[in-house]
Amino acid sequence: MEGFYKLISHFQTQSEPAYCGLASLSMVLNALAIDPGRTWKGPWRWFDESMLDCCEPLEKVKAKGISVGKLACLAHCAGADVQTFRTNESSINEFRNYVKACSQVEDVHVVSSYHRGIFKQTGSGHFSPIGGYHAGRDMALILDVARFKYPPHWVPLTLLWEAMDTIDEASGENRGYMLISRQEQEPALLFTLSCKHQSWESVAKYLIEDIPSLLKSTSMKDVEEA
């Protein structure tokens, strides 16, 4: 349950009825300790729903909610790595394996997009992080960000899959789930250019032809001799 402890320490309530996606993402980003690159309030650097606006205007999300694709875009924009799986592109066994694996680690979390009606809950489309998995009973723990409506609750994983295997009327696409983790950045190649003794033609050749070759090379000697 390592994943649960990280998530529960950042468990939050969505601040607007249609902010379930933003609240889920904000919660996961903070659990992953991703730096938002700006302060929230005072000196604290902390993700808040109001900071997740690079892919969709907040007023639009407030009025209509957000799609799986736009939420994935926001996650990338915020500095996370995201894998998106719609139910017509995945399987219940694959989903179960991911939920089980993510419940045992701290560095990747599952966010589910599902229809509340399958659980006989009020409302329709909803996002929430998955906080754990019970192998003996094949159940998933939903950390529902609409805490004013429902507390965290266990549901049969087969029923959760059924709730995800529905069509989002706004986009016309299947719902599904996302795996969100920190981005793995490759080491950067640092260099400076001087045109003092070179023509622009040779500089252009260097940028277009030589640099791509250097990036593909595994030999430090090639870089030193360039």
- Position 203, amino acid: V
The DSSP element (H or E) to which 89 belongs, if any, is none
CA distances in angstroms from 215 to 162, 185, 190, 208, listed in the order given: 46, 15, 11, 12
Name the nearest CA neighbour of 125 among 112, 110, 138, 115: 115
Whether 144 is catalytic: yes
Q: Catalytic one among 20, 109, 115, 165?
A: 20
For the chain, the straight-line distance linking the first and the last C-alpha, in angstroms and rounded, comes to 50
Within 103-219, residue ranges assigned H as helices are 157-164, 200-205, 211-216
Could you give phi then psi for residue 94, rounded to 5 degrees?
Answer: -65, -45
- Fill in the DSSP letter of residue 186: P
Distance, in Å, from the CA atom of 111 to the CA atom of 93, rounded to the nearest integer, reads 17
Q: In the block, which residue shows the tokens 């894998």?
A: 83
User: What are the counts of helices (DSSP H) followed by strands (DSSP E) for the chain?
Assistant: 9, 8
Of the residues 55, 102, 109, 144, only one is catalytic, namely: 144
Examine the residue annotation and report whether 20 is marked as an active-site residue of this protein.
yes
Whether 51 contacts 34, CB under 8 Å: no
3-state helix, strand, coil in the chain (%, to 5): 40, 20, 40
Q: What tokens appear for 129 in the block?
A: 């992080």
Catalytic position from the list 10, 109, 115, 126: 126
Catalytic residues: 20, 126, 144
